[in-house]
Structure 1
Amino acid sequence: MPDTGKSKSEQIFVDPNSQVFKDLNIPLLLNSFIKIFKERITIITTSTFVADYLKGHTETLRKYFNKEEVQFIVKPPSDKEIFKEKDAKNKQGNEQNYTELDDNIGQLHGFINPDYVETPYLTGKSNEIAYAFAEKLLNKREGAIFYIYGETGTGKSHLLNILAYRALQQGQNVYLSNTNNFIDYAKESYFKNKKSFLNLQRKMDFTILDDFQYLNKNELKWIADPLFEIITQQINQGKTMVMTSDTPPNHAPPYFHERITNRLMSGYVCFISLPDKKMKRQYIEWFCKRNSLEISHDVSTYIMSVANNLRAVKGILGYCQVLNESGQMDIRKLVELTSKIYGDMSTAKKTTEKILHRQIYSLLMDHFGISQEDIKKVQDGDRKRKPTPVAIIDNITWYLLKDVVENESELKKSLNIKYNTEKYCFLKGKEAYDKIESKELKTEIAEIMSSSKKRQMSDNKQEGLWG
């Protein structure tokens, strides 16, 4: 018969030095309490998500403790339980050690993705600055905003989860949510009990919002007030706000007004670009070692050339696993299967061109003070003629990229350049570009174009193998 819970139990707090953690190496077991009864163990966590994750390791835990049953409870331990355990430790002469462990327990409101915790966060030229900022905020508590933006698949969410996990280990309280869930939470709580809504955030050392760009919808104008109050409160109290987005903070929706946009711009704003081949190679090596997978140099080169980001790298490696297990691992077979999903070399080149276009255009928008809303009105046909600043940006982009991209017609279409005005727009673009006095802007544009050219040359070398 399973233990009823009335028998005496031993309680363990899992920290990095715990023997159970060293033996099992289950990351999210950290900061949990384990009660050991005669015929069962009970694991107490502060998050439903962590409990659900640990349930996947039930058999491992059962065998390790040699118990018939493993139970999970989601709640922070009561003060009575904590002090009782502390007293027991004191009697054993370990007061200082236990006090440090107790102080290291942080409260999590939200969910941490265990895949992000177990996967190493690889750094390179594309993200090393963002990672350095994260380290700074972990090591020095200060009222700050950390705003990370970049293309989809650049590792923004991965960095947030690592940041949240490490903050918890330091004993800091963390609110972690994607923006859609935050919208539901704010709508439900702010207008019903604003004091309670703000009090919860006041307890958080880190308030982390993923996919901030989802707030850019007209039907969400009401979100500006609760967001402004949270930002102001947290920063004034020395807490940290962290956001990720696909767009820079100055592209925030117009209903944010300057009161929010200025605060976002005054923080640590950091751009993360897509991973280079060195980072992709590192991930491939890690994945293959972890999963005992062997792939040829040709397969590795193909993955690095076609995969736009590490998510795509992981996806193609998953195909490699399946083909390898079924004895069908062949480069041609892999290309046949994955090109339908991740694209072939021509798709990779088109993606490179689109990224180049967006990066150049975004820099010019910032320089000329054009908002995303202005661009959207032109694209939606709300204006018969382009505003002059928008026309200048379009012309400069056409001048810079006309002879660089292969898909000239697609570029022309996106810039809304008529077939009989190409030459005129090219000359006006050159004229406007030559008038730009900012050397920093021109240097940044040159670096982006140089990086894109190297990538295209590499893609061209590989196209003959798998195209």
Structure 2
Amino acid sequence: MVDTLIEEYTFENFVVGGSNRLAHAGALSVTERSDRRYNPLYVYGDKGLGKTHLLHAIGHRARSEGGLVLYLTAEEYRNKVLWSVRNNEPDYFRARYYSLNFLLFDDASDLGQMEEVQERFFHWFNTLHLDRSQIVIAGSRHPRSMPLLDDRLRSRFEWGLVTEITPPNLETRLAILQAKADAKKVELDPEVLDLIAHRAQTDIKSLEGALNCVLNYKEAHQVKKISFEMAVEALEAVNDRTRRLSLQPDSIIRATGEKFAVPEDVMKGPKRDREIVLARHVTMFLMREGTSPSLAGIGRELGGGIIPQ
């Protein structure tokens, strides 16, 4: 169960700043304290800000101390539930996942879609909590901002500590870039790091992507050291590609779905819950403004649903 932990996602490799300090402290606390003060620990924020890194860091620390750890995403959990139902295996979870020291549950915002899945998770949560297993949950939204989440789960997610990770400020972005450059054994001038930090401001993934873009440019042009001008050229090239890709219908559907916590398959499905309908309408508007397809084309992209005139 612990083999899914990413090797480099440790506390030692996590750069702490004002945007994630409380979440980092909470993550350390659940590995160091036995009183389960923060149970569950719920960490939320946009994608690419380090939530998954913290979950894996907790897992590595707990495993090093002999703990039995399970890292699982909401999608993986949903698939396991559906498998157990289809194969008439009601004891599938109890036999495998009820004797844990740590449950690390990722992408919790994707949980609020199927009543059967939520019901089973509710009972699993209760059992683990009563057994004093540490539960750590990560999601893109605060529990109160998940309209499809069962009220009982929403309440339980707030039992311990709920903490947000926000986009890193400039100082933290520079520290992250320096740490990643050091890990790759690459020396970059301060002005190049500053350029990357100013170009990629939203999340750590975009920072790493921009850094990799600059390093790939260095390798492609076989230069020993990349200049500020070369870094500008490398980032401009990737920005042009990103702008073209960002206007594709599938990327609009995906981005809007993430914003409203509505999965892509639900967006394209027949459900008409208020939050889902709102997400669809925003998607339709962005498609018409950004890609200029026909109404029929938008309908096809959204699974053939009816498009309002």
* TM-score calculated relative to the size of structure 2: 0.71
Alignment of 1:206 with 2:102, yes or no, is yes
Aligned partner of 1:216 in structure 2 is 112
- Contact 2:43–2:138 (8 Å) recurs in 1: yes
SS at match of 1:194: coil
From 223, 246, 250, the counterpart of 2:140: 246
SS at match of 1:274: coil
Residues 109/187 of structure 1: CA separation in 2 closer, same or farther (3 Å cut): farther
Which residue type is aligned with residue 205 of structure 2? R
Q: Distance in 1 between matches of 2:11 and 2:146?
A: 33
Residues 258/289 of structure 1: CA separation in 2 closer, same or farther (3 Å cut): closer
- Contact 2:11–2:54 (8 Å) recurs in 1: no
Q: Distance in 1 between matches of 2:237 and 2:44?
A: 29
Following TM superposition, by how much is the alpha carbon of 1:196 offset from its aligned partner in structure 2, in angstroms? Answer: 4.0
Alignment of 1:288 with 2:181, yes or no, is yes
> Equivalent pairs: percent with the same residue?
18
Alignment of structure 1 residues 385-424 onto 2, 5 Å? none
Residues 112/305 of structure 1: CA separation in 2 closer, same or farther (3 Å cut): same
Aligned partner of 2:46 in structure 1 is 151
- Contact 1:110–1:177 (8 Å) recurs in 2: no
SS at match of 1:197: helix
SS at match of 1:116: coil
Q: Distance in 2 between matches of 1:378 and 1:303?
A: 35
Q: Distance in 2 between matches of 1:113 and 1:181?
A: 16
- Higher normalized contact order (CA 8 Å, seq sep 6+, divided by chain length): 2
C-alpha offsets along residues 325-346 of structure 1, whole Å, 9 cap, x if unaligned? 41183333332332343579x9
* Higher fraction of helix: 1
Which residue type is aligned with residue 216 of structure 1? G
SS at match of 1:163: helix
Aligned partner of 1:160 in structure 2 is 55
Q: Distance in 2 between matches of 1:267 and 1:187?
A: 29
- Contact 2:214–2:231 (8 Å) recurs in 1: yes
Residues 161/240 of structure 1: CA separation in 2 closer, same or farther (3 Å cut): same
Residues 337/118 of structure 1: CA separation in 2 closer, same or farther (3 Å cut): farther
After superposition, the CA RMSD in angstroms is 3.0
Alignment of 1:135 with 2:28, yes or no, is yes
Alignment of 1:174 with 2:62, yes or no, is no
From 278, 301, 310, the counterpart of 2:171: 278
Q: Distance in 2 between matches of 1:150 and 1:297?
A: 29
Q: Distance in 2 between matches of 1:110 and 1:223?
A: 24
Which residue type is aligned with residue 80 of structure 2? Y
Residues 185/146 of structure 1: CA separation in 2 closer, same or farther (3 Å cut): same
Q: Please list every run of 5 or more consecutive structure 1 residues that lacks an aligned counterpart in the other structure.
A: 1-107, 347-360, 363-372, 382-409, 414-467
Q: Distance in 2 between matches of 1:196 and 1:291?
A: 43
Following TM superposition, by how much is the alpha carbon of 1:168 offset from its aligned partner in structure 2, in angstroms? Answer: 0.3
Residues 258/337 of structure 1: CA separation in 2 closer, same or farther (3 Å cut): same
Q: Distance in 2 between matches of 1:277 and 1:305?
A: 7
Residues 319/378 of structure 1: CA separation in 2 closer, same or farther (3 Å cut): closer
Residues 303/374 of structure 1: CA separation in 2 closer, same or farther (3 Å cut): same
C-alpha offsets along residues 194-244 of structure 1, whole Å, 9 cap, x if unaligned? 334124222111111111122233xx2321111011111011111122111
How many residue pairs end up in the alignment?
Answer: 250
Q: Distance in 2 between matches of 1:266 and 1:313?
A: 34
Q: Please list every run of 5 or more consecutive structure 2 residues that lacks an aligned counterpart in the other structure.
A: 244-258, 261-272, 290-309
SS at match of 1:238: coil
Please tell me whether Structure 1 or Structure 2 has the larger radius of gyration of its CA atoms. Answer: 1
Residues 198/110 of structure 1: CA separation in 2 closer, same or farther (3 Å cut): farther
